[in-house]
Amino acid sequence: MIQFTLNRRVAAYLGAAFFFFLIISGAVTHHVRPDIYQNWKNGSLVLNPADNPTQPFQEEIFPLAKAGKIPKINPQNIVTDKNHKTPLFIGFTRNWYLLEQAVVSYIAAGWPADQITVIDNSGVMDSNLHGLLSPRNPWYLNHTRLDQLGVKIKRTPTLLTFAQLQNYFINSAIEQNWSYFFWSHMDVVVLSKEYESPYKGFYARILDCLRELVDTKEKWALKFFAYDWLTLVNVSAMKDMGGWDTQIPYYMTDCDMYERLKMKDFTLGDFNAGHIYDIGSHLSDLAILFPAEGENNALDTQRFKDLRSELEGMMKEKQENKQGRNYWQARQDGGEGEPFWRNPVGFEKSIRFWIERGRELFRMKWNYSECDLKKAGRRLSQDWA
Ligand SMILES: *[C@@H]1O[C@H](CO)[C@@H](O)[C@H](O)[C@H]1NC(C)=O
Ligand SMILES: *[C@@H]1O[C@H](CO)[C@@H](O)[C@H](O)[C@H]1NC(C)=O
Ligand SMILES: *[C@@H]1O[C@H](CO)[C@@H](O)[C@H](O)[C@H]1NC(C)=O
Ligand SMILES: *[C@@H]1O[C@H](CO)[C@@H](O)[C@H](O)[C@H]1NC(C)=O
Ligand SMILES: *[C@@H]1O[C@H](CO)[C@@H](O)[C@H](O)[C@H]1NC(C)=O
């Protein structure tokens, strides 16, 4: 049993492991914040154990849901469009608290819950389905809560790498005859721009984006909503490219994919639907994402203003803590002995190992080690030259 509180070295490792998780959950692209990209390249993610904060573990961050009283969303965020479905995948590997927060924020922003699918890529097989893990286990996920929220859950057959998970998304879309889908990181919170007049919510803008694309002549492959924290994917473009290169499991695999798309003259555009905060910690009560009692359809209330500044603070905190400080806020340091539990330190070291090998492979594939393959003159026929 790891004595977490007594061993700062282990605490540091766990922090680093979590930071890596945040990154590999999809955040590493040339679309990503330059500081993360630079840190990654430098391989300088060493924690100073003395910097590691000790925020107490909070087992329940949405007491109203536990009490069976999920709040109503702002009626102004309810938008329906029979012609445009918006299937959204959110991949999960670790940290239930960040996942729940992301899912709830999408729902509060108007995303229909039944169009959200959480992809359980925890690698613990059916353990979460049967409630066998404890909340302190990093791979814990509350199936009952997700059912209660009305979102779907789909389980990967085994723990997939980032690139494999992307192909899994594509294959799931193909199975359901979807010509497009959205995928989101799990360490985000979305928020509508309630202070804008006339008001248009986050989800309403997502629908706008889709409607625009229906009539376009543009050969589009991807639309990014704040880097790739939320991405709209054109399935036929993915088929055309043969999907992601799963031999490059984590870092650089996105460069490989996005650059190949560019080489085939697909567009990778940006669209602004509202705020997407990239954060490594959780709110203390998710109820703040919903109108308070009596607030009903009011916009830009004091609650909203406070929430916005809190989220901005959380995002800033994550960005400023280049060493990975504060990224292990939930303190999920337990679960040893539970089904499919793995040593988190070993888990992190192994991922690091494969990241390095993936980087080497990218270099072998393209005879180049940076992201800007197309700009550097590489063409599709020139891989493995
Ligand atoms: C990473 O390396 C680059 C260039 O070598 C340097 O400019 C940058 O300050 C380094 N960043 C960190 C966080 O060490
Ligand atoms: C999981 O969620 C359900 C439904 O909200 C709740 O009743 C249950 O207490 C939660 N489980 C744990 C271990 O928190
Ligand atoms: C997808 O389309 C095929 C034929 O076009 C059909 O046989 C199949 O049932 C459809 N699948 C779903 C999930 O709608
Ligand atoms: C995806 O891209 C293809 C090829 O450019 C295009 O024909 C198709 O309309 C796009 N799909 C959607 C849903 O817009
Ligand atoms: C790989 O790149 C180097 C320089 O960047 C070049 O000298 C070499 O010929 C390239 N190798 C192949 C096989 O193209």
Distance, CA 382 to ligand 5 centroid (Å)?
11
Q: CB–CB of 120/306 below 8 Å? A: no
The mean pLDDT of 174-194, rounded to a whole number, is 97
Range in 22-31, 191-200, 240-249, 337-346 with the lowest mean pLDDT: 22-31
> What CATH number should be reported for the domain holding residue 176?
3.90.550
User: Ligand 2, residues 58, 61, 100, 145: which to mutate, most atoms within 8 A of Cβ?
Assistant: 145
Q: How high is the pLDDT of residue 271?
A: 96
- Return d(Cα 90, Cα 223) in angstroms, integer: 16
Q: What is the pLDDT of residue 56?
A: 74
**Nearest to 235, CA basis, from 89, 22, 72:** 89
- What is the β-pairing status of strands 275-278 and 188-191? antiparallel
Whether the per-residue pLDDT at 175 is higher than 70: the answer is yes
Share of the chain above pLDDT 90, in %: 73
- Asked whether the predicted pLDDT for residue 134 surpasses 90, the reply is yes
**Six token digits for residue 368:** 């180049």
- What ranges make up the beta strands (E) of 192-319? 220-225, 230-234, 267-270, 275-278
- Burial per residue of 162-194, b for 16 or more beta-carbon CB atoms within 10 angstroms, e otherwise: bbbbbbbbbebbeeeeeebbbbbbbbbbbbbbb
Q: Say yes or no: 208 and 186 in one domain.
A: yes
> What total of structural domains would you count in the chain?
2
pLDDT in tens, 118-129: 999 999 999 999
Quote the radius of gyration of the chain (alpha carbons, Å): 20
| Ligand 2: nearest atom to the Cα of 60 | 14
The pLDDT mean for the chain works out to: 86
Whether residue 20 is found in the same domain as residue 100: no
Between the CA of 194 and the centroid of ligand 4 the distance, in Å, is: 32
Q: Is 385 in the pocket of ligand 5 (CB under 6 A)?
A: yes
Identify the band that residue 20 occupies on the pLDDT scale cut at 50, 70 and 90.
very low
Share of the chain above pLDDT 70, in %: 83
One DSSP character per residue, 38-91 reads HHHHHT-----GGG---PPP-S-S-HHHHTT-PPPPPGGG----TT----EEEE
Ligand 2 atom closest to the CA of 66, numbered from 1? 5
Tokens linked to 67: 């009490």
Q: How far is the CA of 24 from the centre of ligand 1 (A)?
A: 20
Structure-model confidence comparison of residues 300 and 21, the more confident one: 300
How far is 43 from 36, CA to CA, in rounded Å?
Answer: 10
Q: Dihedral of the CA atoms 227, 233, 239, 244 (nearest 10)?
A: 30
Question: Do residue 48 and residue 194 come from a single domain?
Answer: yes
Mean pLDDT of 92-118: 97
Domain co-membership, 245 together with 191: yes
Q: Which ligand is nearest to the CA of 177?
A: 3
For residue 176, the ligand 3 atom closest to its alpha carbon is 13
Query: 316 or 154: whose pLDDT is higher?
Result: 154
Predicted pLDDT of residue 28: 37
Report pLDDT for 293: 92
Q: Are both 128 and 195 inside the same structural domain? A: yes
98 pLDDT higher than 80: yes
CB of 66 within 6 A of ligand 2: the answer is yes
Question: Are residues 1 and 133 located together in one domain of the fold?
Answer: no
- Tell me the CA–centroid distance for residue 43 and ligand 1, in Å: 10
Residues facing residue 183 across a β-bridge: 89, 231
Structure token pair of residue 257 = 């994919």
Instruction: Examine the domain organization and report whether 55 and 23 are in the same domain.
Output: no
Confidence of residue 5 (pLDDT cuts 50, 70, 90): very low
User: Which pLDDT score, from 0 to 100, does residue 114 have?
Assistant: 97
CA of 129 from ligand 2 middle (Å) equals 12
Lookup result for tokens 């992809």: 119
Atom index in ligand 5 nearest the CA of residue 385 equals 13
Same domain, 289 and 354: yes
Decide: 176 in ligand 3 pocket, CB within 6 A. yes
Domain that holds residue 68: 31-382
Least confident of 50-54, 69-73, 113-117, 282-286: 50-54
Q: Are residues 107 and 15 in the same domain?
A: no
Q: State whether 294 and 328 are in the same domain.
A: yes
Separation of alpha carbons 180 and 115, rounded Å? 13
Q: Whose CA is nearest to atom 6 of ligand 3?
A: 177
CA of 367 to the centre of ligand 5 (A): 6
184, 266: one domain: yes
CA distance linking residue 385 with residue 277, whole number of Å: 41
Backbone angles phi, psi at 101, to 5 degrees: -60, -45
**For ligand 3, mutation pick of 177, 179, 235 (most atoms within 8 Å of CB):** 177
Residue with tokens 């959480």: 118
What average pLDDT does the segment 336-359 reach? 88
Is the same domain home to 110 and 149? yes
